[in-house]
Chains A and B, each alone.
Chain A
Amino acid sequence: MTKKNQPILIIGVIIIIAVIIYLFTQTDRKVADGSGDSSAPIVIPTHNWSSQVVMAYVIGGIFEKNGNNVKYVPADSQAVYESIRIGDVTISHEVWESAFGKSFTTALDKGGILDWGDHEARTLEDMGYPNWVAELCPGLPDWNALKSPECAKNFVTPDSGGKGRMLEGPQTWHGDLIPQRIEALGLGDLWTVKFAGSADALWAELEAAKKEGRGTIIFNWTPNFTDGAGFTFIDFPPYTAGCRPVDGGDGKCGSPDGYLKKAVNADFPKTHPSAAAIFKKMSFSTSQIGAMAALVDIDKMTHEDAAKKWLADNGY
């Protein structure tokens, strides 16, 4: 391209852009109502599980209805608390006690992040099994059923060294908690714990076990999309404060009935008072969260569409 035709081209491009701007900006959106909020966008993180992503869009929809600007950013579920603290992300709407409680409280101690109340939903994250497995191991869901060698035999895999294998989530989630518990409960001779690398690996194992009709014990949580498909958690001895080895206990206990919290950046209430107040009041129940996940995981909708449908169904 020679230098001569550049001015012509530039003028042409400018005219064309002007035309495009004119053509595509006919549909104006509603102007923000004077709620006193800053018009800077509220940054909502999305993680890699369905209910969280749908809820992000649901909450975003509610904020937008309130006249706020909203931005979504994909984020790691552990690292997000540091990002909220620094201000890269504004809110987090799913703080699971068992998995993220530690990251959250650490960030809380450092300052810059606020505890913004609990959801109605309670959470449980523990080892469990899809319902058909109960036949393989009479006595389940009581953990004592795991003491029987006949039971453990059904869960042997080629690399488990003759022991029954439990598939724990990534080591990231709770370190050596489950292996320590298995040892502490005296199940170490019959059972071994394998760490999966990701949530995907857990679902793949669940799907493969279902197709093959074999037994499997995996780490899972509720509320989750598996709630609808029939999944039972093993009843380990009840959790008491300080019973975990990290806290100095003997490790002979299951997981706590945990909170599902919301967290915000410390500046959020100052910059967006009205949105912050709405978010404080927001509380979702287990069934609502399960329904959000099911729209995506069972009905195969996209996350945005699922959020739109949920908002429409619930009168927003």
Chain B
Amino acid sequence: MELLKKYPKLFQWLFLLIVFFALCFSIDVPETYKFIRGQAEFIKDPNQSTYTLFGTEVRYYAFDVLWRLPPLLGWLPIWVNDTLFFLLNEWMPMEFWNEATREYKTRPLVLQITRNITAFMTFLIEFIREILLGGVETVVAFTSWDFVSTYRWAKLPGLPWTIVAAGAAILSYKLSGKGLAIFAGLVMIYISVFGQWKPSMQTLSFILVAAPLSFAFGLSLGIWAYKSKRVEKALYPILLTMQTMPQYAVLVPAMVLFGIGDHAAVIITMVVAIPPMILLTLLGLRAVPPEVIEAGKMSGCNNFQLMTKVLVPTARRDILIGVNQVIMVCFSMAVIAAFIGAKGLGWNLLLALNQLNIGLALEAGLCISLIAILLDKMSLAWANKQEDYFGNLTFFQRYKNSLFFAGALLIGIILSYAGSFYFKEGYNYFFEVPHNKGISTADFWNKGVDWIFDTFFVYIKAFNTWLIVEVLQPMRALYLRMPAVATLVLVVGAGYIIGGIRSALVVGGLALFIALSPWWDRALVTTYMATFGVIISCTIGLTVGTLCQQNKYTTKFMLAVCDIFQTFPSFVYLIPVMMLFGVTDTSVLIAVIVYATIPATRYTIEGLRSVPAGLHDAASMSGVTKFQRLINIEFPIAFPHMMLGVNQTIVFALFMVIIGAFIGTEDLGQYILKALSDKAGGGKGLILGICVAFIALIFDNLIRTWVQKRKKHLGID
């Protein structure tokens, strides 16, 4: 009894586990149960049960309800899809005059609207792209194709790379100083010398459209949510789902609605980038002290003035961190967007991978990382920059940067003009280094992978076999062995113990949605891979983070490594991993671990850093050793923050498990991939994505609730 009073939670957990295992052992696996093939909705089989709801026939294999719930939501994806199809193809058809064929054409309204949006997007992208690279489309937008065919001079000429590089360096200098300016210059020179200029500028051009648009939409929605409680309540669950939904699942509906090409890429990038922007705007506005608002009101601001002159400037820092997030997300979409037609580095990377040219893919991937880090640093510098008000400057001091840029422009033009005489063989290296004429280290990397393969293959194979046979296969079997009821009890019980009845209802609802979808088994496989990945990632992240945090320089170094890996497209290491470990779960999991270790490490470092220095001193004075201090003081205090890292790790791991479908998995990801080229894929892709998001949200809810309670308990926050 004493024990029970002292550790009530412990006994609650014990009780929950006993119930869980009792359910697991008392419910037998039905004899007819077969994984995956038994579920395929593509075959007709007399053993299947069917029901019809909302005009949709759902086929499934019926089991004991305790073992697997029937897919009562099976109609939902098909229904969503049919609705999409109806909207796009049949709803409100209208006559539109087609100039090219000189006849009327019937087009449904929604299709026409989405095509008008895409035309606008395409114009913006092409405009920026042609400033950087040159072309005719912008001129065409104002005249016609006939015009540019007749007058060949009517096109944007494009900027020589030297000017863009100088511009980037000067802008960085203005924002931050010498260090960033040198970095910017080096990045641009690297891109150019390695012959990645054209694809890099193509990628940059669609990001330069997506990022400002995401910023504008995110900011205004954020402000709206700040003003109206109702909007906030409506937006919040959508935002949470969007943030945890694998980006890949957004592709399918976007493709159905907006077709393929750079414009569709911009749209899905916006869909992914807007949620963090909204959340950070909201966070920033909420943190504005009431005194500031009072002061604004006393000065006689009207509502609009209060927002633009008082609230937004005060929340500037959080909002600009939102900008920074937007940029990071945009670059992380660079490769995924290539699946629906974004030109540039992402597409080149996929092509290189298709030829198994790892070196070439690596170079393209590095360019994405470098540009992302550069823009990231620049936007951070912008966020932290203080306005300076010096009055009496000379003309040169005042216009220093503009003058330098004008000078760079002039020199760049003269150089490229001179280059057109100097380089006779047709490539003007001072204008643009062509794609395949730069330096390439591809051979070096390819040889490196070959060398690893030849040297370590025997060990890798032995390890791979051991891991699959002894660990992964049994673990997967265990997950699939769980009766649906037991899993639900476990989830609801955990919710109740951690967060009370409210939490229990939320996580129970999320789990029930997945259980009633047709993909419960696949969700279990996804969870199994994510769990394994998260456990290993957290172990590595915790160890590495703790070790690196002991020293200032290693901390800095580790955070830089995290930066690079976070923006480095994960597709690149799928291929070498696949060559070494075959088309197996091991390959997927290695990719998962590489990616998911980043947040685990980052949050460990940041968590330990956030321990107040005063506590360190107090502990040292009490005579504890460094190790004791770490175990007894730093870890417990930093633990809530580190748990948020675990939360991020779970989201990252799930993203990567889904991308693992490109290696070959039998989980939700495989179906998401399949939905991409399925004619009825729009609805399926969306619902599958929501299932993945819900898995993440279950953990998210549990961890966040726990962290809040713990923080209150520790008296921080």
Docked pose: A196 CA to B410 CA in angstroms: 54
Closest 10 pairs between A and B when the two form their complex, measured CB to CB: A78-B677, A39-B145, A24-B157, A158-B468, A197-B662, A88-B259, A197-B664, A28-B152, A25-B153, A39-B149
Chain A contacts for B155, CB-based, 8 A: 25
Q: Which residues in chain A, 26-48, are within 8 Å of chain B measured between CB atoms?
A: 28-29, 31-32, 38-41, 48
Docked pose: A6 CA to B81 CA in angstroms: 52
Contact call A204/B473, Cβ cutoff below 8 A: no
Contact call A69/B145, Cβ cutoff below 8 A: yes
Chain A residue nearest in CB terms to B585: A159
Chain B contacts for A79, CB-based, 8 A: 255, 260, 676-677
Docked pose: A40 CA to B143 CA in angstroms: 12
Contact call B43/A245, Cβ cutoff below 8 A: yes
Shortest A32–chain B CB gap in Å is: 5
Known contacts A196-B583, A197-B663; decide if A25 and B152 are in contact (CB<8 Å). yes
Is A305's CB within 8 Å of the partner chain B? yes
27 A-B residue pairings within 8 Å (CB atoms): A17-B157, A25-B152, A31-B150, A40-B100, A41-B145, A69-B145, A76-B340, A78-B678, A79-B677, A86-B111, A86-B259, A88-B259, A89-B260, A158-B469, A167-B664, A170-B674, A176-B42, A194-B664, A196-B583, A197-B664, A201-B664, A204-B356, A205-B578, A207-B579, A246-B42, A300-B355, A301-B436
Binary flags per residue of A290-316, CB closer than 8 Å to B gives 1, else 0:
000000110011111100000000000
Known contacts A76-B676, A157-B584, A271-B100; decide if A195 and B670 are in contact (CB<8 Å). yes
Contact call A171/B674, Cβ cutoff below 8 A: yes
Number of residue pairs spanning A and B whose beta carbons lie under 8 angstroms apart: 204
Interface size class of B (residues with CB under 8 A): 35 or more
Shortest A80–chain B CB gap in Å is: 8
Contact call B157/A106, Cβ cutoff below 8 A: no
Shortest B198–chain A CB gap in Å is: 11
Cross-chain contact of A201 among B450, B469, B580, B663 (Cβ < 8 A): B663
Shortest B419–chain A CB gap in Å is: 11
Q: Which residues in chain B, 667-690, are within 8 Å of chain A measured between CB atoms?
A: 670, 673-674, 676-679
Docked pose: A73 CA to B355 CA in angstroms: 19
Contact call B37/A179, Cβ cutoff below 8 A: yes
Cross-chain contact of B666 among A48, A89, A195 (Cβ < 8 A): A195
- New A-B contacts (9) at CB < 8 Å, excluding given A20-B413, A88-B259, A197-B663: A1-B402, A16-B413, A20-B157, A21-B156, A158-B464, A195-B670, A200-B353, A208-B578, A211-B457
Chain A residue nearest in CB terms to B341: A74
Residue of B343, B465, B666, B677 with most chain A CB atoms under a 10 A cut-off: B677
Chain B residue nearest in CB terms to A165: B583
Docked pose: A249 CA to B350 CA in angstroms: 38
Is A82's CB within 8 Å of the partner chain B? yes
Docked pose: A176 CA to B674 CA in angstroms: 12
Shortest B142–chain A CB gap in Å is: 15
Shortest A209–chain B CB gap in Å is: 9
Chain A contacts for B670, CB-based, 8 A: 171, 195, 197
Known contacts A20-B413, A172-B673, A267-B101; decide if A198 and B662 are in contact (CB<8 Å). yes
Docked pose: A64 CA to B135 CA in angstroms: 16
Q: Which residues in chain A, 174-229, are within 8 Å of chain B measured between CB atoms?
A: 175-176, 179-180, 194-201, 203-205, 207-208, 211-212
Contact call B660/A23, Cβ cutoff below 8 A: no
Docked pose: A91 CA to B578 CA in angstroms: 34
Docked pose: A258 CA to B172 CA in angstroms: 57
Cross-chain contact of A208 among B100, B259, B582, B677 (Cβ < 8 A): B582
Chain A contacts for B148, CB-based, 8 A: 39
Docked pose: A175 CA to B473 CA in angstroms: 24
Chain A residue nearest in CB terms to B356: A203
Known contacts A158-B468, A204-B356; decide if A197 and B149 are in contact (CB<8 Å). no
Contact call A305/B406, Cβ cutoff below 8 A: no
Chain B contacts for A83, CB-based, 8 A: 259-260
Chain B contacts for A245, CB-based, 8 A: 43
Chain A contacts for B454, CB-based, 8 A: 211
Chain B contacts for A40, CB-based, 8 A: 100, 145
Chain B contacts for A159, CB-based, 8 A: 468, 472-473, 584-585
Binary flags per residue of A145-170, CB closer than 8 Å to B gives 1, else 0:
00000000000011100000001001
